[in-house]
Structure 1
Amino acid sequence: MKLSNLLRGVAIAAVTLLAVAPAVHADALDDIRKAKKIRIAIDFGVPPYGMTDDKMQPAGSDVDTARALAKDWGVELEIVPTTGASRIPSLQTGKADLVISTLSITPERAKVIDFSLPYATLRTVIGGTKSMNVKSLEDLNGKTVGTTRGTTHDTYLQQAAKGAKIVRYEDDATATQAFVSGQVDLFSTAELLLAPVAAKNPGRNLEMKFVLQVFDLAVGVKKGETKLLEEVNGWIRANLKNGNLNTIYKKHHGHDLPEQVVKAAG
C-alpha cells in the first residue's frame, strides 16, 4: 500500500471516529457557575410558598429560599414561573436548573428526577362547606372533588378515592374558584390556602374536612446532575444547621420547621 493511501485511510478513520463520538455532556453546576446565573422554577399559585405580593413581585417561602441559595452561591437568580404540572418538565427540557416549588418527594417522581434533602413540609387537605358531612376518604364517594393537575394530592386521590369524581385544574387558584362557584363539592389543596379563601368567600362556609397527607418538600434536580445535587444538599444542611431555612419558613408560615426536617439533614 502506498504511503499516501495509508495516510488517507488514517485521516478518514479519524474523522469517522470524531463523527460518531458522543457529545461531551456539560455539567449543570459548571454551567451555572460559568453563566453566574441560576434558573429556578417556582409556582406563584401556592401561597405562602409561592405567590405575588401587592406590588406583583414574587414572594413566599419558596421564593425566599431560592433567593437565599442564589445569594450564597454568588449567582444571579432567574425565576422561571411554573405550575404544578409543569415543574418536572421544566427540569427535563432544560428550562430550569432547579425546582423549588412545593415539590414533595414521591417514588414515582424519583424515577424521573432527583430530589435533594427535605427543606420544608406541606400538609394537603380536603376543603368543603361546614354543612357537608365529610371526614374521610370513604365519605368522598359520589362527591365531585376539584384538584390541581400533576400534584401529589391529584395522584393520591386518583389511587385512594375510587368512588369520587375527580376534576382536574391547571393550578390551585382555578381549583379553588371551582369550589367557590359551586362547580365541585370539595377540593384538595395546601392547608394554608384554606384560611384566605374562607375569608374572601364567607358565604361558602369553608372549612378543612380532613388531612390527606403530610409531605416533605425537596429541591428538584435533573437526573444525573450529581455535582449539582451534592451542592444543593450541602447548602440545605448548612442552612438547616445555621437556622436560615427555619427563619424563612417561620416568617411565612408562623411556626418553626418540623423537627423531622432538621433531623433528616443529619
Structure 2
Amino acid sequence: MRISKTLSKLAFCSGVLALCATAHAEDALDRIKDAGTIRVAVAMGVPMFSYANANMQPEGSDIDTAKLLAKDLGVKLQLVEITNAARVPTIQTGKADIAVANLSITPQRQKVIDFSIPYASLQTIVAAPKDVKIKDYADLKDVTIGVTRATVNDADISKNASDANIRRFEDDATLVTAAVTGQVQAISSQWPNVAEVNKKLTDKPYETKFVQHEFMLGIALPKNNPKLQAWLNDWIKANLANGKLNGIYKKYHGSDLSGKVVKGQ
C-alpha cells in the first residue's frame, strides 16, 4: 500500500515537472511580447556584419536584420553588444533573448543552444599577400597565422594546421589590425575582414589562398523554446521569399545570399 502511494506521488511529481518544463519551453516568445522588447546580441567589430560606423553607431547586415526582426515582431529592439567569444555564453546565461551574430550552426554549439534555420552564410578562407605561397593546410607549417578566438576558423586551423604558429585575437577588428601591421603572415577569416585589411594594406593586399568551408549562419536562442524557434524559422522563410534578407545582405556584402541559404539547405 505504501509502495503504491509512493509510486503515485512520484508519478504526480513527474507529471508536474513535465508540465513545468513544457510551460517553460513555450514561454520565451510570450515573455518577449509581454516585455515589449527583444534583447538581441550582436558581435561588434565584424566588418559588414556588425560594426561601429563613423558616428559610432552599430551598423551592418546583422544590425539591419535585428531591426527588421524586432519590427515584424512588434516589439522594441535592445541591442546587446558583445564579442565573438561571448556569443554562446550570452545566450546560455540569458543576457540576451537571441543572437544575430554571424554565428555558424555547428553540432558542438547545438548541444548547448538552439538555432533557427539559416538566414545567411559565410565562407571561411585562408588569405595572405601574393608572395606568401599557400595552397592548403600543409603549407601553413611554421606560418604565423591569425584567427579570431572561439570561432570556427580557430577550431578549423587548430585541427588541420596544428603545426602552424597560431595567434589568437579577441575580435575581428584586432585580427585586421594584426594583419595590417605585419604581426601575422596570413589569416583565417572571412572575406569582409580581408577587404578591411586591403583598404589599409594597398601595397601588399591579401588574396584568398583557399576556401576552408561555407558555414550556415543561424539566429541563436536558448534551448527548449519551440515557439520562439518556430516563429524565427517562419520569419526567415518569409523574408527570404520576399527578398528582404537578400537585400540586407547585398547592401553590405555586395553580393547575393548563397543559393544554399535561399533554398533552405
Query: What TM-score do you get using the length of structure 2 for normalisation?
Result: 0.88
**1:82 maps to which residue?**
82
Measured in 2, the distance between the counterparts of 1:113 and 1:25 equals 15
Q: Tell me the number of residue pairs that the alignment of Structure 1 and Structure 2 aligns.
A: 247
**1:263 maps to which residue?**
263
| 1:250 aligned onto 2:250 | yes
**AA aligned opposite 2:138:** E
> Which digits, 9 at most, give the CA deviation of each residue in 1:87-123, with x for residues without a partner?
0100011101011111111111111111111111111
- 1:15-30 equivalences under 5 Å are 25=24, 27-30=27-30
Alpha carbons 2:47, 2:196 under 8 Å: kept: no
Cα offset for 1:214? 1.0
Identity %, equivalent residues = 48
Which stretches in structure 1 are left out of the alignment for 5+ residues?
A: 1-16
Q: Are the structure 2 counterparts of residues 46 and 145 from structure 1 closer, same or farther at C-alpha, using a change threshold of 3 Å?
A: same
Alpha carbons 1:117, 1:218 under 8 Å: kept: yes
**2:9 maps to which residue?**
none
Measured in 1, the distance between the counterparts of 2:108 and 2:228 equals 21
Give RMSD over aligned pairs.
Answer: 1.9
Higher mean C-alpha displacement, 230-239 vs 170-179: 170-179
| 1:145 aligned onto 2:153 | no
SS in 2 for 1:209: strand
Alpha carbons 1:148, 1:169 under 8 Å: kept: yes
Which stretches in structure 2 are left out of the alignment for 5+ residues?
A: 1-12
Measured in 1, the distance between the counterparts of 2:241 and 2:204 equals 43
Measured in 1, the distance between the counterparts of 2:203 and 2:256 equals 33
Measured in 1, the distance between the counterparts of 2:195 and 2:91 equals 32
Cα offset for 1:204? 4.0
Higher mean C-alpha displacement, 62-71 vs 248-257: 248-257
**1:192 maps to which residue?**
192
> Which digits, 9 at most, give the CA deviation of each residue in 1:178-212, with x for residues without a partner?
22222222111111221231121224432222222
**AA aligned opposite 1:95:** K
Measured in 1, the distance between the counterparts of 2:235 and 2:77 equals 16
**2:216 maps to which residue?**
216
**1:48 maps to which residue?**
48
Measured in 2, the distance between the counterparts of 1:230 and 1:49 equals 24
Measured in 1, the distance between the counterparts of 2:233 and 2:42 equals 19
Bigger Rg, structure 1 or 2: 1
**AA aligned opposite 1:73:** L
Alpha carbons 2:98, 2:220 under 8 Å: kept: yes
Cα offset for 1:247? 1.2
**1:9 maps to which residue?**
none
**AA aligned opposite 1:92:** Q
Alpha carbons 2:176, 2:194 under 8 Å: kept: no
**AA aligned opposite 1:229:** Q
